[in-house]
Amino acid sequence: MLDSFNDRWALVTGASSGIGAEFAARLAGLGMHLVLAARRTDRMNELAESLQTKHGTKCHIVTIDLSTLDAGEKLVNAINELGVDIELLINNAGVGLIGEVSTTEPIDIQQMLNLNINTLTDLTYRVLPGMLERGHGAIINVSSVAAFQPVAFMGAYAASKSYVLHFSEALWAETRSRGVTVMALCPGVTETEFFEVAGAPGWLLKHSSQTPAKVVRKALAALGRRRQFVVTNWKDYVMTILVRLATRRTAVNESKRYFRQGTKETNETADQTPSTPSPDEQNNS
């Protein structure tokens, strides 16, 4: 499958940093041309210039707030104006929020769900029919290991990632016989800006993590095997199995210890919690 990507187009959302930027770099190395979509134009310009110099990659940049309800429509309209067919869609843009219900702004949760669920779903349904008509293409929807269980203090986020996992697996079953692969990518803790944006600054320094390069390498290898989902760290994969063996009460109670302290720190320093989630930060936890 990866051999067929040369000289074709990929759309990468949340492409200005972290896993999104790493996907862009890896795909450019495979000979793909790129549409990069995020809010931070300066970072995307810098990335596009680098990839064009190194790989001769054509890059189109779409500056857009992907957390708005009509973001998917606007982005696809912009791509249609370019006159290109998307061979690979990387639905990477996402955000997380960590905190107690009493200190969380409902508008922030709404924006997070718009980004993590609505825009991802809308883009998938707008891009997928063209792939099916052509008989080839792929979509990677970035989920999380949090998708496999409820997680206290970030319940809406974990639920949104569970949606992404189940949605992607369903489409994998529907489309695999038609030359198209839809895969859920479920990374664990990754060295991105996620925890800073989510409201737990410093959390990443206290826990083991993986690099975006490892996540993307594992993702593309799994896509080449046409997997329906992939967990990029073997310890995280074992955890997903143990969660299924435990009672649901045990699983959710155990999750409380991961973010209880981070929640307290967030409540004491409210200025560190972003008022508006950034769609450029990928959700890995």
Q: What is the rounded CA–CA span in Å between residue 91 and residue 233? A: 20
Cα torsion through 45, 46, 50, 56, rounded to 10: 10
- The rounded percent of the chain whose pLDDT value lies above 90 is 64
Edge-to-edge strand list for the sheet holding 180-186? 59-63, 33-38, 9-13, 86-91, 137-142, 180-186, 229-231
Nearest Cα to Cα of residue 263 among 148, 142, 112, 96: 96
DSSP 190: B
Q: What is the pLDDT of residue 171?
A: 98
Q: What is the pLDDT of residue 267?
A: 34
Name, in order, each residue with C-beta under 8 angstroms of 236's C-beta and a sequence gap of 6 or more.
145, 186, 187, 188
Tell me whether residue 163 is one of the annotated catalytic residues: no
**Residue range 31-36: average pLDDT?**
97
Q: What is the pLDDT of residue 71?
A: 97
Query: Which domains, ranges and CATH numbers included, belong to the chain?
Result: 2-272 (3.40.50.720)
Pick the catalytic residue from 125, 157, 163, 258.
Answer: 157
Q: What would the two tokens of residue 229 be?
A: 């989902």
Q: What is the pLDDT of residue 194?
A: 54
On the question of pLDDT at 205 being above 80, the answer is no
Q: What would the two tokens of residue 4 be?
A: 């067929």
Q: What is the pLDDT of residue 196?
A: 56
Q: What would the two tokens of residue 166 be?
A: 């189940």
pLDDT tens per residue across span 104-149: 899 999 999 999 999 999 999 999 999 999 999 999 999 999 999 9
**Range in 27-31, 70-74, 169-173, 209-213 the model is least confident about:** 209-213
**Residue range 245-271: average pLDDT?**
61
Q: Which residue has the higher pLDDT, 152 or 258?
A: 152
On the question of pLDDT at 251 being above 50, the answer is yes
Q: What is the rounded CA–CA span in Å between residue 96 and residue 36? A: 21
Q: What is the pLDDT of residue 248?
A: 81
Q: What is the pLDDT of residue 253?
A: 79
pLDDT tens per residue across span 150-185: 988 889 999 999 999 999 999 999 999 999 999 999
Q: What is the pLDDT of residue 192?
A: 57
Nearest Cα to Cα of residue 167 among 186, 194, 153, 187: 186
pTM across the whole model = 0.86
Nearest Cα to Cα of residue 233 among 187, 165, 285: 187
pLDDT, the chain, mean? 85
Tell me the residue type at 137.
G
Q: What is the rounded CA–CA span in Å between residue 275 and residue 5? A: 39
Q: What is the pLDDT of residue 1?
A: 74
Q: What is the pLDDT of residue 136?
A: 96
How many other CB atoms are there within 10 angstroms of residue 207's CB atom? 11
